[in-house]
Amino acid sequence: MTVTHAGPTTRTLYLLDDNADFRTTARWWLEGAGYRVLDFADANAAIATLEHQMQAGTLADSCLLLDVRMPGMSGLQVHDALIARGIAGPQAQWPLPVVYMTGHGDVPLAVQAMEKGAITFLEKPFEDSALEQALAKAFEAPAAPHRPPACAEFQRRLATLTDRESEVMRGVVDGKMSKEIARDLNISAKTVELHRGRVLGKMQADSAVHLTRMTMAQRVL
């Protein structure tokens, strides 16, 4: 990561990740960018701190960077616990923005993360520009959840897909393997892979996770 120095800020980032080396590197970068950073290796400690901060009314202008795969509690389970406590999710008065991080390009996890209201889903190792964009989006998030209008550019790309490519794309976004999609559509797995490659190209997606993230954000399919 390349440090981009920023002016003073009251914005606080809560970082939950079981990898000590990653936390050290991320904290160094984030503090260099002007954020106040509180990092945790333990999910329960992070939840307790966030709950205390919520009760104290000091969670404004904060964001949670949350690892997906951790021992004990997964990131998705942590998110569920925060929603249950009114810290995140649609029932929260001031919902805490959550940005997921993972070293595993797992499409079903990306879908679940976005359905829980995550701001976005970053695959490790990620570029500093991707993190900057995610944080900018998190801190621009409104206090109350809303459904933004679908992106015209995304719709334009979607319109370039053939009917078969659209069917394959639905399968990919649903987290299905090529063999499953092939069985559903009664075509060969090799043909599915061919269509999958064309879909990623036309949609300008780097990976299945990237495609899923775009699709979830646009509320299509």
Structural tokens at position 158: 């979607």
Q: Please report the pLDDT score of residue 28 as a whole number.
A: 93
What is d(CA 68, CA 88) in angstroms, rounded to the nearest whole number?
16
The pLDDT score that the predictor gives to residue 113 is 80
Residues 120, 161, single domain; the answer is: no
Angle between helices 163-173 and 107-115 (to 10 degrees): 80
- How far is residue 50's CA from residue 84's CA, in Å, rounded to a whole number? 13
Domain with 177, as residue range(s), is 152-218
Decide: helix, strand or coil at residue 65: strand
Task: Find the CATH number of the domain harbouring 209.
Answer: 1.10.10.10
7 falls in which pLDDT band (50, 70, 90)? very low
- Is residue 57 very low, low, confident or very high in pLDDT (cuts 50, 70, 90)? confident
**Does residue 72 sit within a domain?**
yes
| 117 lies in the same domain as 201 | no
- For residue 146, pLDDT beyond 70: no
Query: CB pairs under 8 A, 24+ apart, for 92-97?
Result: 93/143, 94/59, 94/60, 94/143, 95/141, 95/143, 95/144, 95/145, 96/50, 96/54, 96/59, 96/62, 96/63, 96/64, 97/62, 97/63, 97/64, 97/138, 97/139, 97/141
Residue 13: pLDDT band by 50, 70, 90 thresholds? very high
Mean residue pLDDT across the chain: 84
> Same domain, yes or no, for 182 and 213?
yes
Question: Is 81 within 8 Å of 50 (Cβ atoms)?
Answer: no
Question: Is residue 147 over pLDDT 60?
Answer: no
Residue 116's pLDDT is 82
Q: How many domains in the chain? A: 2
Do 117 and 17 share a structural domain? Answer: yes
Q: pLDDT (tens digit, 9 = 90+) per residue, 94-143? A: 889 999 998 766 677 777 787 788 888 888 888 888 888 889 988 885 54
For residues 80 and 28, membership in a common domain is answered with yes
Average pLDDT over every residue of 71-89: 91
- The yes-or-no verdict on residue 186 having pLDDT over 70 is yes
Which range (68-82, 139-153, 164-178) has the least confidence?
A: 139-153
pLDDT at 103: 77
CA distance 213 to 111: 7
Give the CA diameter of the chain: 58
Q: What is the rounded average pLDDT of the residues 29-48?
A: 94
Q: Against a cut of 0.85, is the pTM above it?
A: no
Whether the predicted pLDDT of 2 surpasses 50: no
pLDDT for residue 128: 84
